[in-house]
Amino acid sequence: MRARTDFIVFILVVAFVFGVYFYTSAPGLGLVDCGELTTAAQTLGIVHPTGYPLYLILGRLWLGVNMFDAARGMVVFSCVLSALACGFLALSGIRFFMQNETKSSGFAFALIAAVSMTFALSPTAWKAVSFAEVYPLTWLIASIILWAAVSAVNAPGSQAVRLTLLSAYLWGLSFGNHFTILWFAPIVIYGVLKTARNAISPWTILGLCAAVFTVGFSINLYLPVRSSVQPLLDWSDPQTWDGLVRHLTAWQYRVWMFKGSFAQFLQKLISYIGTVPKDIGWGLTVLAAIGLWYAWRRKEWLIWCGLAAWILGAAYNLNYDIPDIDTYFLSLYGPVAFIALYGLYRVCRQMSDKISDQTVRLFSFAILIVALPLSSFAVSRSSAVQSSNRFARSLSVEILRALPQHALVIQGNWDIQSPVIYLQNVERLRDDVVMLDLNLLQRPWYVRQEMRAHPDVFADCEKEVAAFMREVAPFEAGKPFISQRIESAFLTMVNGIISRQMAHRPVYVRDMQTYGHPGIAADLSKTPGAYFLKVGETSSAADPVLNSDNIKRGMTTFNERERLLLTECALSTAMRGMYALRVGDVPTAELSVRMANELAGDDPRIREYVKSAELRLNELKTGL
């Protein structure tokens, strides 16, 4: 009977959470890594460190059976994973409750389900499934590990062993997705040691756990095996042992890690603690605080292991200086949600002991059941609902539309590059355009990958490429290097590509001063195109202007990242308009003024441009 109740609660939570996520998530492509991840899942490639082989393999299987296109399909995949994770969070609460109570009630199960739904609707959890990302898979595995640890506490010997082995295997397997699972070590180790202590042969249990962990971790062998056949996306080219270790340890991103002083870390920590109620809601925060108070008094070691997992993970994440760090905390907040479940359990015990009137008690429980999810829903809804967000696709399609046939583009904005990777390689949209990522061009693996994909672009530049490869080799090997020589060889290579390609195709770049390489195309004339700068050629009236309606299609509100991109588009459009004014192209100038104003009219630079451009247009019209 209890198993049947567990199953019913699990299904209800999963169904509710999936329904909310499905109808509020984005219809497809997103910014940041979504385009790259979706393309790699479709083509079984290798993405940025740490490679995420488990996500890509499961994603490919999912794309083979789901009914959506690849972009929407991977978003729905995130919804499914997170909904299942919330279901296992509820199961963890039920198992803990049943281990501490001889009888249960429907209200108890409803309260557990309510807390799971409250976490599902919290800003961190809800926003994590808006687009295709790897974090929901780690959250699912972490929640199963938590459920297994709770279930194994009072389980019979053989069942406890099976649950512990499952935890060890999943822990190893999850290293094939995202390494934040490392910080679940306290929970896994607690379960392993507790099971081993109660076993007849503890060393056998420890050996078996180590073995199944290794089997799970072996999913990462996908990286060298797949890289050996040179897939479409082959980030880091991890065919060698050294390359594999570097990819798994995110060696490339070390420049973003542990950069600040201890004082700066403390400042970040204090600021982060203050944002926790905003991340998971005040309801869960208060319940978690209550849970910790009772766990300290009653020595609930599993609760403290969950707290340790959160503290270790948060401390590590706060030393990682990237803008989109919020979703790293998704799986780490899982133990916090479980601590909140324990706090709710203690609150309910107190209410049962102190409120003698059953009607009043049940009414209080009913208020909690309704109020907790609604409180999260009210806080999260405005930012988490992305059902009409087609911004990444609309922006990328518009930028590609504005480029002439067979254009070569060298630029360094990943929020442009990643969606274009998907559009060109999965939907085959404007695959005549070659867009090279300037930042990745500094990596030998990327040069080799693009030489395979676009041999014509690198034709007659073999010497420059070889010289760059020689200069960057010591840096890649972790040996002493001379940065000036690397930069000089890099500029020679890129400028060689540009100069040779200009003879037979349009070439575009972005502002290289911004990207730290002012020497690129420094001696060549550049005129404003729609979004990029056209190298060595004069823009004409036929060159298009970015269309704000196409970019903002169906959207009225934008997040900070999207507003920044809109501003970049507006500034590019303003540059196009200023050039049109210089050459007396009135129609293009008028269109540019209107489009720049519609894209980012609240930006002071755009307001100043619109004002001065309108004055100049009046002068030109009067002169005409």
Q: Is residue 171 part of a domain?
A: yes
Q: Report how far apart the first and last C-alpha atoms of the chain are (Å, whole number).
A: 88
Domain final residue, candidates 497, 515, 538: 538
When pLDDT is cut at 50, 70 and 90, the band that residue 416 belongs to is very high
Q: Is residue 313 part of a domain?
A: no
Q: Are residues 123 and 62 in the same domain?
A: yes
Q: Is residue 345 part of a domain?
A: no
Residues 522-547 as b/e (b if ≥16 CB within 10 A, e otherwise) read eebebbbbbbbbbbbbebeeebbbbb
pLDDT score, position 324:
64
Give the per-residue SS3 of 437-500: ECCHHHCHHHHHHHHHHCCCCCCCCHHHHHHHHHHHHHHHCCCCCCHHHHHHHHHHHHHHHHHH
Q: What number of other Cβ atoms are within 10 A of residue 15's Cβ?
A: 12
Residue 33 has pLDDT above 70, yes or no: yes
Q: Are residues 470 and 590 in the same domain?
A: no
Q: Are residues 506 and 452 in the same domain?
A: yes
Residue 264 has pLDDT above 90, yes or no: no
Residue 99 has pLDDT above 80, yes or no: no
pLDDT score, position 532:
93
Token pair 């605080």 is found at 289
Beta-bridge partners for 320: 257
Token pair 């099976």 is found at 162
Q: What number of other Cβ atoms are within 10 A of residue 198's Cβ?
A: 13
Q: Are residues 508 and 612 in the same domain?
A: no
In the numeric block, which tokens belong to residue 394?
């609309």
Please spell the DSSP secondary structure of 332-387, one letter per residue.
Answer: THHHHHHHHHHHHHHHHHHHHHH---HHHHHHHHHHHHHHHHHHHHHHHHHHH--T
Q: Are residues 191 and 99 in the same domain?
A: yes
Q: Are residues 513 and 591 in the same domain?
A: no
Q: Is residue 505 part of a domain?
A: yes
When pLDDT is cut at 50, 70 and 90, the band that residue 79 belongs to is very high
- In whole angstroms, how far apart are CA 280 and each of 136, 371, 420, 546, 559? 16, 15, 33, 39, 19
Measured at the CA of 120, the angle between CA 114 and CA 123, to 5 degrees, comes to: 125
In the numeric block, which tokens belong to residue 69?
């296109």
In the numeric block, which tokens belong to residue 219?
């999913």
Q: Are residues 528 and 561 in the same domain?
A: no
Alpha helices for 199-300 (secondary structure H):
202-217, 222-227, 241-248, 262-280, 282-298
Residues 6 or more apart whose Cβ sits within 8 Å of residue 544: 401, 402, 530
Average pLDDT rounded to a whole number, residues 89-107:
73
Q: Are residues 36 and 170 in the same domain?
A: yes
Q: Is residue 70 part of a domain?
A: yes
Q: Which range has highest mean pLDDT (109-118, 187-196, 445-454)?
A: 445-454
Could you tell me whether strands 526-528 and 507-509 are parallel, antiparallel, or unpaired per DSSP bridges? unpaired
Q: Are residues 513 and 402 in the same domain?
A: yes
Token pair 């995420």 is found at 52
Residues 6 or more apart whose Cβ sits within 8 Å of residue 173: 54, 141, 216, 217, 219
CA 34 to chain centre: 7
Phi-psi region at 434: left, alpha or beta (left = phi > 0; alpha = psi -120 to 50): beta
Give the per-residue SS3 of 377-424: HHHHHHHHCCCCCCHHHHHHHHHHHCCCCCCEEEECCHHHHHHHHHHH
pLDDT score, position 260:
66
pLDDT score, position 541:
52
Q: Are residues 40 and 167 in the same domain?
A: yes
Q: Is residue 459 part of a domain?
A: yes
Domain final residue, candidates 518, 538, 558: 538
Q: Is residue 327 part of a domain?
A: no
When pLDDT is cut at 50, 70 and 90, the band that residue 536 belongs to is confident
Q: Is residue 450 part of a domain?
A: yes
Question: pLDDT tens-digit profile of 327-385?
Answer: 778 888 888 998 998 888 888 777 777 777 777 777 877 887 888 888 888 888 777 88
Domain final residue, candidates 488, 509, 538: 538
Nearest to 415 by CA among 431, 434, 439, 433: 439
Q: Are residues 523 and 551 in the same domain?
A: no
Q: Are residues 59 and 132 in the same domain?
A: yes
Q: Which domain holds residue 501?
A: 390-538
Residue 469 has pLDDT above 90, yes or no: yes
Orientation angle between helical segments 135-152 and 157-174, nearest 10 degrees:
160
- In the chain, the number of structural domains is 3
Question: pLDDT tens-digit profile of 543-591?
Answer: 789 999 999 988 888 988 999 999 999 999 999 999 888 888 888 888 9
